[in-house]
Amino acid sequence: MQFKHILVALLVLLALVGTAAAADSVEIRSTIIEFDDGNEPWEIDAYNWAGLYYNLNDDTETELLTIDINGTTGTNIDITYETEPNFQPFEYKWVNGSDTVGYAIIGFFAEPYVAVGPKNLTSTGTGFKANKIAKLIADNDDKYTLKTGATLELGSGFSLVVDQIDVDGNKAYIKLMNDGKEINSSIVTTDGSKSGDWILDMTLLNEKNIEVFRVHVKDVFQGTESSLVEIEGYWLIDYPNAFEVKSDVDYGKFEAKNIGTSKLEYLAEDIALSADLSTDLGKNITLKTEKEFDGTTGTDKFYLVKEYTEPGVYEIRSDIFDYTTAPVVPFTYKNFAAFFYDIDENIYTEEMNYTLTGTQINEGDLIYVTEPQQIAYAADSWVATGTHKYYVMGLFGEKYVPLTVVNTDGTLSSGADMKPEKMAKLTIDNDDKYTLKTGATLELGDGYSLIIDQIDVDGNKAYIKFFKDGKEVNSSIITTSGSDGGDWILRATVLNEKNIQTLRVHVKDVFQGTQDSLVEIEGLWVMDYVNAKELKTDDKFGILEYDGIIASGPIKGDKALQFKSESDVTLQEDMDKQIANNMYLKTADDATTSKYGYFYVNAEVGEGSAPVDPQPPVDPSEPTTPTEPPVVTPTEPDVPDQPDDKEPGWFSQNWKLVVGILVLIIIIAGAAYYFMVYKKQA
């Protein structure tokens, strides 16, 4: 093996090690509804809830939720959910490049399904059944070039295998597989009277000639080394798991009311709204109210949220808008679900707007502003009023904490000394309860953790250590009685700013049982201060450029961060343009069909992802004898401002590469010895 091959393999390995993990789930909220605002019944559809099915290219939606107050007084509501099939052209233009054929799409509780029906369905066609549905797996017009013997993964365990080709006859023999087993096969001809299409239909749910799969083979090619097949466009439904929607089957609080071949209707009836409500309606749809909800102020708020747990990438999009006209209102938490919003305190920080000149947004005319706001800690153990708060802000749809000076007791300093241009991601803020044995580790996220070293039951004290990436950062003796109140407030110097809060922990109690020493924690707050960053004027994020701090923000008039577009942007069809970081603008691919667009942020759900909240504590396999705590009160750490403030040495930067090379050398040497010595003796 050549040395350069070793280096390539090592570089690939290191790249994978650095890949960020996705989340375990993603929640997408609906538009915010103000109770008793006089606008009931309220309607939620795909235009104002990214959780519902919507096809931008053809402006296709199928679902509608209507929310009405049950009776003339009180806070009980009824939610009617209805959905009906809508004609959806295939992404690939199967008939002479037109949209004349397609299928009957139907959103079913915020997920895309297909109402089973005959092949070559047209916009005026019939024969599909709203109550017999299968999940849509794929509908695309992507191009793939495959060698004979190659496999194309289609999704949900389905795949295509190119078995062999007949170049003289312009034919390809292709097999459709499911979980590695052959389902069907076909010889597809790409010239003459043949279109190159393979359309598979079958009897499904007692319906005959139901289309379940189609693929277009554009060409076959015999090169000097390889036989190739070019595929352009395929469509597939999960027909093995197709099912009939029954009129006697309910989904959570959604009771079936009208289940027919043309429409499905459910009713969640007489739902009592109350303060701080989070009630499961069914099908991973939850209704949430604010903490102080009482139904009398006229501004009490609630919304719906859809949770997705299956691996994949989900768009958290804004309201749908006509991109050929100027926006009527700015984009805020109300019409862009990716923007930060805390319903309990009605706190939001982000606003975006643009001015349209013809079809163009001129340089500087797309403006994004985020304005930090004070917010209460999640834990009730920390006073929710006065100076026991912290600053939070959204930045392009992600949650950050501006660096803020705090006093030794964790209260905000006089004048709330906050630096909005210096920030770190919020790792955790919760009020969950954890009961930990001495020696146990509590993972906090982002590489931070706590270890319970030992306890002093007589003194109601716990000795706790704080770690980052396995290295001890600081430790403290926490007293659960007296003036300390069980709180550990850790301050550090971050980005040259002193007395910045980086961690706070509330130890509620310590306990010595007959077998175990236990510590009860109820209240955690950590920001990822090690990776804090500072914005500087002219820093670029996609097409946006940091313009500095403005004295009067649009939300509460406090200092805010402002970003402006650094170049002209022409709004046109088929755009998928990065605005900043993970925020994009998408428009329909054909302006003659749809002139709509939306902003969106991608959220990824994947297996093996890192949890947002701490994992349950685990006991060490071999507990060590606890060390004696220091006699003096622990001092605050002098944490380096940033990992890259001091240039690391060559070995520090490349140690993984060196170790990898040494491991490969040992493996190669062992293999050489085996073949040259041991094998020869044998």
* Mean of pLDDT values over 234-260: 97
Prediction pTM value: 0.79
Is residue 619 over pLDDT 50? no
Is residue 656 over pLDDT 70? no
Mean pLDDT, the chain, as a whole number?
Answer: 85
String of b and e for 240-279 (b: at least 16 CB within 10 Å)?
Answer: eebeebeeeeebbbbebeebeeeebbbbbeebebeeebeb
| pLDDT tens digit sequence for 256-271 | 999 999 999 999 999 9
Output the pLDDT for position 218: 92
Question: pLDDT confidence of 367, banded at 50, 70, 90?
Answer: very high
Output the pLDDT for position 608: 39
Output the pLDDT for position 316: 95
Question: pLDDT confidence of 654, banded at 50, 70, 90?
Answer: low
Kindly give, in sequence order, each residue whose CB lies less than 8 Å from that of residue 197, ignoring residues fewer than 6 positions away: 94, 188, 214, 215, 216, 217
Question: pLDDT confidence of 556, banded at 50, 70, 90?
Answer: confident
Report how far residue 463's alpha carbon sits from residue 480's, in angstroms, rounded to the nearest whole number. Answer: 11
In terms of pLDDT, which residue wins out, 643 or 373?
A: 373
| pLDDT tens digit sequence for 444-459 | 999 999 999 999 888 8
Structure tokens at 17: 């090690």
| Cα distances (Å, whole numbers) of residue 366 to 219, 234, 358, 371, 570 | 45, 38, 14, 17, 12
Question: pLDDT confidence of 89, banded at 50, 70, 90?
Answer: very high
Output the pLDDT for position 672: 65
* Mean of pLDDT values over 198-207: 94
Strands in 76-83's sheet, in edge-to-edge order, are 42-45, 63-69, 76-83, 264-272, 255-259
Give the CB-side neighbour count of residue 99, counting CA atoms within 13 A: 12
Is residue 465 a contact partner of residue 444, using CB atoms and an 8 Å limit? no
Question: pLDDT confidence of 384, banded at 50, 70, 90?
Answer: low
Is residue 492 a contact partner of residue 500, using CB atoms and an 8 Å limit? yes
Report how far residue 233's alpha carbon sits from residue 188's, in angstroms, rounded to the nearest whole number. Answer: 14
| pLDDT tens digit sequence for 397-452 | 889 999 999 998 888 876 668 999 999 999 999 999 999 999 999 999 999 999 99
In terms of pLDDT, which residue wins out, 606 or 595?
A: 595
Report how far residue 377's alpha carbon sits from residue 387's, in angstroms, rounded to the nearest whole number. Answer: 11
Any idea which residue has 């053809």 for tokens? 58
* Mean of pLDDT values over 35-42: 88
String of b and e for 298-334 (b: at least 16 CB within 10 Å)?
Answer: eebbbbbbbbbeeeeebbbbbbbbebbeebeebbbbb
CATH of domain 85-129+132-244: 2.60.98.40
Output the pLDDT for position 415: 61
| Cα distances (Å, whole numbers) of residue 302 to 30, 101, 253, 374, 378 | 9, 41, 17, 21, 19
Top-confidence range, 63-67, 390-394, 549-553, 635-639: 63-67
Output the pLDDT for position 224: 80
| pLDDT tens digit sequence for 100-122 | 899 999 999 999 999 999 888 98
Kindly give, in sequence order, each residue whose CB lies less than 8 Å from that of residue 515, ignoring residues fewer than 6 positions away: none
Output the pLDDT for position 291: 86
Question: Which amino acid does the sequence have at 275?
Answer: A
